[in-house]
Chains A and B, each alone.
Chain A
Amino acid sequence: MRRLLLGLALLLVPAVARPQAAAPSPPPAPPPPQLEAGDTAELERDVGPLKDRIPPVARHVFLLKQRWELVPSVAFSFRDPFFTKYVFELSLTYNFDETMGVMARAGYAADAVSGSAQICTTGSTAGCRSPTYDELNGKATGQIKFLGALDFQWTPIYGKFNLFGEWVVHFDLYGILGPAFLTYAGPPSAGQPGSSSVFTAGGEVGIGMRFFLNKFMALRLELRDDIYGERSPTVSGGTTVQNQLFIDVGLGFFFPTTFHDG
């Protein structure tokens, strides 16, 4: 849309140009067309046959193709009633081309009581309080210890935005999907205190963004959902499906550190 406005503005420039006596005046510029917000037809027309001749972008400031990406990151979970997980992760991605890649990820989670679920009492000392870690240890769901995943990564969007009208920030947007592997603190064995470590497999799905800082570094933000089945700590037993939502912030380093485009 901004380009359209710019184009229209440029069209109007000659209209206000100083008239010249020697030459007949050029025909007046046509009135700007009325466009609906989000109407891209005019933009497509403006691009014209270039659309078929040349790619949308050349001499990229950043390319992913055939580069490794190593990302140390920190993730934290949210919307979990019992535990907030702080996951220290390391992921390695290989990008086959500008849109496809495979990512392996491993992380250790430090759990803290989230405080969303409260223990409430009635009677003379009526009130609510957050449970202690020991009170939840092995008795509540979502107590993840280790986390790993093997994801397929698809990066369909590459773009840039104008920050404060001065700086241009380039970014891409990707989606991930793949199996996840976890260990969590489950109910202890019969007659044992505390909790027991349980391994399980599930899947994860998410979206992420990279903001390119230079030719080999990118700030990465990711939102993902780890879905897995967890043994229920309740008396009735069974399995409950867990949706653990994480926000991940990391710094990506790309190898090789240089690339060539055009």
Chain B
Amino acid sequence: MLRTLRVAALGLLLASAPAAAQTFQGLDTPAPKPAPKKKKKKSTSTSATKSTTSSPTATGGTALSQATPTPPPPAPAPATSEPALGVDLTQPTPVKPKSAKDLPMPPPPGAGAGKKTAPTTSFEALDVTGKTADRQRLEAANALFLAKEYDKAALAAWELVSDPKMAPLQLESQYLLGKTLYRMGLYHSALAEFSQILGRGEQTRFFSKSLEWLFFISHKTTNEAIILDEVARYANAEWPEKYRSEFYYLLARYQFVRGRALEQVEQKAEAQKSFQEAQRLAAKVPRGDPFYVRTKFLQGVIASRQGDQSAALEDLKEVVRLTRPPADVHGNEQVRDLTFMDLARIHYAARQNRYAIYYYGKIERGRPEWLEALFESAWANYRIGQYQQALGNLVTLSSPFFRDEYFPEALLLKAVVYYENCRYRESTAIIQEFERRYRPVYDELDALVKKDMEAPEYYQVLADVQKKVRAGKGGGTDVILERVLKLALTDRELKNTNDSILEVEKEMDLVAARPPAFRTSDLARHIDDDLKKERQELVKRAGVMARAKLEQELANLRTLLGNGERIKFETTGKEKEFLEEQLQAGGRKAIVKQYRYSVAVADDQLYWPFTGEYWRDELGTYEYTLTKGCVDRSGGNRKVTGAQ
């Protein structure tokens, strides 16, 4: 009787043990050293206690409901149909967790664990640890994980997951599998496992832990947006407090991207709703939080999109204040640059050109946005008649360092500046150069778009060029295609998706490079299948984006080529006009005259004549001296009046 009671007590103890045994061994924090079995159990439960402070608890849930008295809006449905730009534009509806029967694996049985344990021998029943054989198998897999033998741990976990007899422990095994795959650097595969766990619903044991793992994965992958769909799907879930700000930020971003996509398809009212929802979510991130800066930036961008430029300016200036280098501890340089760009664009749009130039000038040399800032600042300089600075910026853009960058409009701007200064021959020559360079790109784009291929094929074209360029085999028409690729990748969303595809491919290679015992296993096949499916989905999404981008760029290039023609036409007309005047004046009338100019510079500057050689540290400081121009300088082809 006493023995029976003891066994029952041990059984109860074991049944409750797994809950306490949830640890974060998969994280990048130093994993606890494998210890003897008995001690190990103790140490894991300690770490579980520690993690309780930051992991979701009932208390945490109350805190959230107190903080957010109004229930969060229903999450958008998962993208099932082909979404525009990869975002679901359907009416947001709350998503119920998939029913258990939809899931690839059998759900945990409703009956108690004891009822469906694997048949045990009388010897196992007498095991002094009181653990069932199944539990021992799981613990063995866990031990392998702790010993950093991830291949073996993954295989062992997979064996448990795919064993129908192990139904009671399947969820835990799958959780272990997810963690192990993460540790092996197979982040997308790990995400697939955690997604499945999440799909079983909030009531399952590993739901909130799996939510946390979404964040860990997003921190490791090149494109954090890969978890956006999952985040949006479980928007109503109880999010771990530690990651709540990140969650709000991601969800706000999701709503923003959705709103933008809706705007593009002319669903303005729905778009506004999304923007408002994004603002509401963003406002929940507290000041001082590491995600506050990014969220504030997002708010500024949304406000600008909504047409509230004053609010946008305030939000963006707040970002500038918070990211001033000595004070910024969160490494938001990129956000700071983007903020300056947005500030400059807002001022530029309001025709406050000097302010725009000021903010463009804030982008440090060499930063990712620097070239774009130089180019846009050239337009602002042109608007206020600072032709020399405008041309100077274009000298930097045309340097061999940036030969492969795509700024077709730069040549047009140059042509316009020369036209304004009555330098018609130069203007015509520049337009010819523009056509020589970009007409083939246009033709290639046109041919591509006219092919009317399936979305994935568009991506495939880009992927092939990408591979050729990487292998250094590009040449001839590939040079044009390479420009097309660069053009397509200027779309940030497409670039992110492309990065994700490359990452998935890398993971497939990673699996193929594992030892034979792993790569020939069922698990490897399962991972490979999942990755292939994910890749297919991403390719499809990227294809849609690529096609949209190519069509958009084709239209832009068509407009630019048209503008080029117009400039050529205007130039020819003006030239003809002057030639006629010259004939009437008996050849005594000049089109241009030498300008008086000085190379004098301020005391704290030095004048360095440009000799055709580009020095890295001089980029961005060039000024082009116009030595000749219209005879009547003030009465040139354009009067700059009232420009700010």
Question: A-side interface residues toward B, CB under 8 Å?
Answer: 2-3, 5-11, 14, 17-18, 20, 22-24, 26-27, 43, 46-51, 53-61, 160, 162, 165-168, 170, 262
- Contact partner, A26, options B358, B612, B644, Cβ 8 Å: B358
- Nearest residue (CB) in A for B325 is A30
List residues of chain B with CB within 8 A of the CB of A168: 608-609, 611
List residues of chain B with CB within 8 A of the CB of A54: 401, 616
The SS class assigned to the A binding surface is mixed
A5 to B621, CA, bound (A): 12
List residues of chain B with CB within 8 A of the CB of A60: 613
The 9 closest A-B pairs by CB, nearest first: A50-B366, A48-B366, A14-B358, A262-B400, A54-B401, A58-B400, A58-B614, A49-B366, A56-B616
List residues of chain A with CB within 8 A of the CB of B152: none
Q: Are B614 and A59 in contact (CB under 8 A)?
A: yes
Q: Does B278 contact A (CB under 8 A)?
A: no
Other A-B pairs beyond A23-B352, A48-B367, 14, CB < 8 Å: A6-B604, A9-B605, A17-B354, A18-B644, A26-B355, A27-B317, A53-B401, A57-B615, A59-B614, A166-B607, A166-B609, A168-B608, A168-B609, A170-B613
Q: Are B602 and A22 in contact (CB under 8 A)?
A: no
Q: Are A14 and B352 in contact (CB under 8 A)?
A: no
Q: Are B313 and A50 in contact (CB under 8 A)?
A: no
22 chain-A/chain-B pairs, Cβ below 8 angstroms:
A6-B621, A10-B361, A10-B621, A14-B354, A20-B355, A24-B313, A27-B320, A46-B617, A48-B365, A51-B366, A51-B616, A54-B616, A56-B617, A57-B613, A58-B400, A58-B401, A58-B614, A59-B400, A59-B612, A61-B613, A165-B607, A168-B608
List residues of chain B with CB within 8 A of the CB of A20: 352, 354-355, 644
Q: Does B289 contact A (CB under 8 A)?
A: no
Q: Are B604 and A9 in contact (CB under 8 A)?
A: yes
A54 to B317, CA, bound (A): 32
A53 to B616, CA, bound (A): 10
List residues of chain A with CB within 8 A of the CB of B619: 50
A7 to B368, CA, bound (A): 19
Interface size on B, residues (CB 8 A): 41
A47 to B612, CA, bound (A): 20
- Nearest residue (CB) in A for B320 is A27
List residues of chain B with CB within 8 A of the CB of A48: 364-367
- Nearest residue (CB) in A for B400 is A262
Convert B385-416 into 0s and 1s, putting 1 for each residue whose CB lies closer than 8 angstroms to a CB of A.
Answer: 00000000000000111010000000000000
Known: A20-B355, A51-B366. A3 touches B617 (CB 8 A): yes
List residues of chain A with CB within 8 A of the CB of B604: 5-6, 8-9
The SS class assigned to the B binding surface is loop
- Contact partner, B617, options A47, A53, A162, Cβ 8 Å: A47
- B 328-378 contacts with A by CB, 8 A: 347, 350, 352, 354-355, 357-359, 361, 364-368
List residues of chain A with CB within 8 A of the CB of B358: 14, 17, 26
Q: Does B606 contact A (CB under 8 A)?
A: yes
- Contact partner, A7, options B317, B357, B614, B621, Cβ 8 Å: B621
CB distance from B616 to the nearest CB of A (A): 5
Q: Does B102 contact A (CB under 8 A)?
A: no
- Nearest residue (CB) in B for A159 is B615
- Contact partner, A57, options B313, B361, B368, B614, Cβ 8 Å: B614
Q: Are A162 and B354 in contact (CB under 8 A)?
A: no
Known: A5-B604, A49-B366. A23 touches B609 (CB 8 A): no
Q: Does B618 contact A (CB under 8 A)?
A: yes
Convert B431-450 into 0s and 1s, putting 1 for each residue whose CB lies closer than 8 angstroms to a CB of A.
Answer: 00000000000000000000
List residues of chain B with CB within 8 A of the CB of A262: 400, 403
Q: Are B611 and A162 in contact (CB under 8 A)?
A: no
- B 591-644 contacts with A by CB, 8 A: 599, 602, 604-609, 611-619, 621, 644
List residues of chain A with CB within 8 A of the CB of B399: 58-59
A226 to B214, CA, bound (A): 72
List residues of chain A with CB within 8 A of the CB of B354: 14, 17-18, 20
A166 to B352, CA, bound (A): 36
A108 to B619, CA, bound (A): 48
- Contact partner, A22, options B317, B352, B617, Cβ 8 Å: B352
List residues of chain A with CB within 8 A of the CB of B606: 2, 6, 162, 165
A248 to B361, CA, bound (A): 48
A80 to B514, CA, bound (A): 73
- Nearest residue (CB) in A for B605 is A6
- Nearest residue (CB) in B for A24 is B313
List residues of chain A with CB within 8 A of the CB of B599: 165-166
A3 to B350, CA, bound (A): 33
CB distance from A170 to the nearest CB of B (A): 8
Q: Are A53 and B350 in contact (CB under 8 A)?
A: no
Q: Are B608 and A9 in contact (CB under 8 A)?
A: no
List residues of chain A with CB within 8 A of the CB of B313: 23-24
List residues of chain B with CB within 8 A of the CB of A3: 617-618, 621
A167 to B605, CA, bound (A): 16
List residues of chain A with CB within 8 A of the CB of B616: 47, 50-51, 54-57
- B 530-559 contacts with A by CB, 8 A: none
- Nearest residue (CB) in A for B354 is A17
- Contact partner, B615, options A7, A24, A56, Cβ 8 Å: A56
Q: Are B359 and A26 in contact (CB under 8 A)?
A: yes
List residues of chain A with CB within 8 A of the CB of B612: 59, 61
A48 to B617, CA, bound (A): 10
A167 to B347, CA, bound (A): 40
A5 to B599, CA, bound (A): 17
List residues of chain B with CB within 8 A of the CB of A11: 361
List residues of chain A with CB within 8 A of the CB of B605: 2, 5-6, 9
CB distance from A27 to the nearest CB of B (A): 7
Q: Are B365 and A47 in contact (CB under 8 A)?
A: yes
List residues of chain B with CB within 8 A of the CB of A14: 354, 357-358, 361
Q: Are B347 and A23 in contact (CB under 8 A)?
A: yes
- Nearest residue (CB) in B for A55 is B616
CB distance from B510 to the nearest CB of A (A): 26
Q: Are A50 and B615 in contact (CB under 8 A)?
A: no
Q: Are B364 and A46 in contact (CB under 8 A)?
A: yes
A17 to B401, CA, bound (A): 32
List residues of chain B with CB within 8 A of the CB of A61: 611-613
A177 to B277, CA, bound (A): 73
A9 to B615, CA, bound (A): 19
- Nearest residue (CB) in A for B644 is A20
List residues of chain A with CB within 8 A of the CB of B644: 18, 20
Q: Are B608 and A162 in contact (CB under 8 A)?
A: yes
A228 to B276, CA, bound (A): 87
List residues of chain A with CB within 8 A of the CB of B400: 58-59, 262
CB distance from A142 to the nearest CB of B (A): 44
CB distance from A169 to the nearest CB of B (A): 10
Known: A50-B366, A59-B613. A23 touches B621 (CB 8 A): no
- Nearest residue (CB) in A for B616 is A56
List residues of chain A with CB within 8 A of the CB of B615: 56-57
